[in-house]
Amino acid sequence: MSALREKIITTQPWALVTGASSGIGYELARTLDAQGYQLVLVARRADRLKELQARLENASYICAADLGTAEGMQSVYDFCLSKKVAVDVLVNNAGFGHNGDFKDEPLETAQQMIQVNITALVTLTKLFLPQMLERKHGHIVQMSSAASFFAGPLMANYYATKAYVTSFSRALAYEVRPFNVFVTAVCPGPVHTEFGAVAKAGSSRILKDKVTTPDEIARFTWKAIQKKKTVAVHGMIFSFFITLSRLLPASLIIRLTALLNKTKPRIGLDSLGEKS
C-alpha cells in the first residue's frame, strides 16, 4: 500500500453499511461513497458485495456476515477492529419482513426477523457506540419504517420490530447528543426493492404502486444525516397519515392498515429470502 493510499484511509471518514448487497443499503453505499466516505460494506452475499465494491471509489473493505446470528454480528465489529477502522457513520440497514397472518408465519421466520431487525441493530449499536462517545463524534442511522407508527395486521411482527427501532432510536438520540453523537431513525414508506418479494407482499395494495425508489431514500437519508434529525419520515403523505392516526380511533386505523397489507392473491417466496 502506497503512502498516499495510507493517508487517504486515515484522513477520510468511515461509514459502515449493513444490508449493502441490494436495495436501500446498496444506494446508501453509493451515496456515502460519493460524499467521500471510506466504506465497510456488510451483507451475507459476498458476491454482490464484491460487485458493488468494484463500482465504488472508496469501498475499502467488504465483510460477509449473517446478521441473523450472534457470531455474524460480532464478526462485523471484530473485522473493523482488525482493520483499525474507526466508524464515523454506522448505518444499520439490514432487515426483512413477512406478509400474512402471524399464525401462518414459520417460527424460524419470526425469530430471524427479530434477530435481524432488532437484535443485530442493537448489538452493532452497542459495540460501535463507545468509540463514538470517546471521540465525541459519530452518527448512527437506524433504518426504520413509516410502519413503526402503526400496528400492522398481516405484517404484525415486522411492524412491531420497526416500532422498537424508532422508539429505541429516539431515546438513544437523547442520551448521546451531549457527546456530539447523533442517532437518526429513517422512516420510509413502501420502497421498490427486493423487500416485497421476501416479505411475500409483492402484490399487496400498499406496495403495488412502488411509491419510491432506493436511491431517493438514500438521498433523503443523507439529508437527514446532515440535518442531524432524530426521526426522518419520508414523504408528506406518510407524515400526514401518521399525524392523522393520532386523531382517529385506533380500531379504525388498524382496520385500514390491515386492508393496505392485504394481498390479492398472497404470493411470494417460501424461504426467508435475503436479509442483508
Strands 89-92 and 59-64: unpaired
Q: Which of 77, 158, 159, 174 is catalytic?
A: 158
Q: Answer whether the bond into residue 265 is a cis peptide, omega within 30°.
A: yes
- Grid cell locating 206: 400498499
Q: Report the DSSP beta bridge partners of residue 186.
A: 143, 232
158 annotated active-site: yes
Long-range contacts of 74-80 (CB under 8 A, 24+ apart): 74/123, 74/127, 76/16, 76/18, 76/42, 76/124, 77/124, 77/127, 77/128, 79/40, 80/16, 80/40, 80/128
In order of 92, 165, 237, the CA distances from 117 in angstroms are: 9, 8, 25
| Closest residue by Cα to residue 225 from 8, 17, 12, 60 | 17
Residue type at 123?
Answer: T
214-227 and 23-34 helices, crossing angle to 10°: 50
Give the end-to-end CA distance of the chain in Å, rounded to a whole number: 30
Nearest 10 degrees: Cα torsion 231, 232, 237, 242: -10
Q: Catalytic site residues? A: 158
